[in-house]
Structure 1
Amino acid sequence: MEIIEGNCFKDNFPLWIKLVNKKITVTTDNGNDYQGIVKTIDPLTGSIVLLQFNDEELSKPSDLMIITGHAVKRLTLQTDQQPQSSTINLDIIKENEIDQDELKGRKIKLIEWFEKNRIPVEENDNQELVVAKSITIKSPYTKDDCNSSNVMVVRRIQDLMSRMPTTTT
């Protein structure tokens, strides 16, 4: 086990690269311990994205945890149980899966909402919604699934989506 404490972790990019896809235990400043595999570390804040597992075989993550960089007190690198592969299946939390009927209904409601607000929308070959010829919305069609290079337009569409009633008339 390798233990990293204090300011050794802050702004230490080579260490961050070394930690990606490694099993670690993070101790926070309030004394809580969190164990998982490092998916990534935010270079601006030092926040750690940990994949947590219910079983020891590391087959599929059961949860995703973000630990803010300022709260990290100590890191313990678990050298005994590292994942065999750097590619981990990211199908996180199977309970949140949406059935196809609900997904189709959500897409139809969203199309109706955009049309009601006189915003052009169409569906492309990949089952994505294309809004105003500049924004794509991928399944499961939530405001977090909007993608475009124009951030201002994305924010306006996301705002409109958040104002969509649960039942459209």
Structure 2
Amino acid sequence: MQCGWPLLGPLQWTRYVNKKVNVKAGKDEEHRGWLLTVDPVSASLVLVNFRGESGASVQVVMGHAVEEVQVLQEADEETMQRLQSSFLPTNTHRLDPKEQAAIRGRVRTWLEKNRVPVVEEGEELRVAGVLTITAPYRPEDCCSSNQIILDRIQKLIQNQPCLAGTDPEQTES
């Protein structure tokens, strides 16, 4: 790739994602690593280098400094898997469908008890049409562009009695 990295745009940048690249930045700087992603606003590159079986180092190369990006290697299936799972929490585990439905039901009941309009849409809970809660229905599983509603619902879920180890039917809001 020639000069003008920031001018290429997201559609062109995606051709480099999940590939080992050599990035020339500045006069004498070169950076190598697996390109994880490119920031669409700043054109900055996020490079990952694996250290043995368990570790990885992450480096960000600012988009305005990039002079050239050269593909060195395509990722194999194992490398793609490592790249995609590098930043996931290590303690994630899948709930069985019955357990997931029970938790979803408890969260929905708690929100309704606190006069929050909530509906089930498949495996998600939708709050007032502006917030979505996905499995496993914890405060960090809430998503909304409205920060005020997001904060309030997260606090409400965090203060849910069954999270504190008590029975929600015995506790009044």
TM-score interval w.r.t. the shorter chain? 0.5 to 0.7
* Residue from 140, 145, 158 that aligns with 2:150: 158
SS in 1 for 2:74: coil
> How do 1:40-51 and structure 2 match up within 5 A?
40-50=37-47
The offset of 1:95, in angstroms, is: 1.1
The offset of 1:24, in angstroms, is: 2.1
The offset of 1:118, in angstroms, is: 1.0
Larger Rg: 2
Q: What RMSD in Å do the two structures reach over aligned CA positions?
A: 4.6
If the length of structure 1 is used for normalisation, what is the TM-score? 0.55
The offset of 1:41, in angstroms, is: 1.9
Which residue matches 2:33? 35
The offset of 1:49, in angstroms, is: 4.0
Deviations 1:52-77 (A, max 9, x none): 55669xxxxx7695736358567663
> How do 1:65-104 and structure 2 match up within 5 A?
67=60, 69=62, 77-79=70-72, 81-84=73-76, 88-89=80-81, 90-92=84-86, 93=88, 95-100=90-95
* Residue from 99, 119, 122 that aligns with 2:119: 122
| Residue identity in the other structure for 1:98 | H
SS in 1 for 2:152: helix
CA distance in 1, matches of 2:101, 2:47: 32
Deviations 1:92-141 (A, max 9, x none): 4461313528967864564355234311223333x211222454322243
Unaligned residue ranges in structure 2 (runs of 5+): 162-173
CA distance in 2, matches of 1:15, 1:131: 37
CA distance in 2, matches of 1:27, 1:49: 14
CA distance in 1, matches of 2:114, 2:57: 36
> How do 1:100-111 and structure 2 match up within 5 A?
100=95, 107=104, 110-111=107-108
Deviations 1:2-51 (A, max 9, x none): 8x7xx74333438635423321255888x895622x24323321122446
The offset of 1:82, in angstroms, is: 1.5
Q: Identity percentage over the alignment?
A: 26
If the length of structure 2 is used for normalisation, what is the TM-score? 0.54
* Residue from 20, 23, 37 that aligns with 1:23: 20
CA distance in 2, matches of 1:9, 1:43: 12
Deviations 1:116-169 (A, max 9, x none): 4311223333x211222454322243445426xxx4xx4333111332364523
> Do 2:51 and 2:57's aligned partners in 1 also have CA atoms closer than 8 Å?
no
Unaligned residue ranges in structure 1 (runs of 5+): 57-61
| Residue identity in the other structure for 1:11 | L
Which residue matches 1:59? none
CA distance in 1, matches of 2:111, 2:59: 34
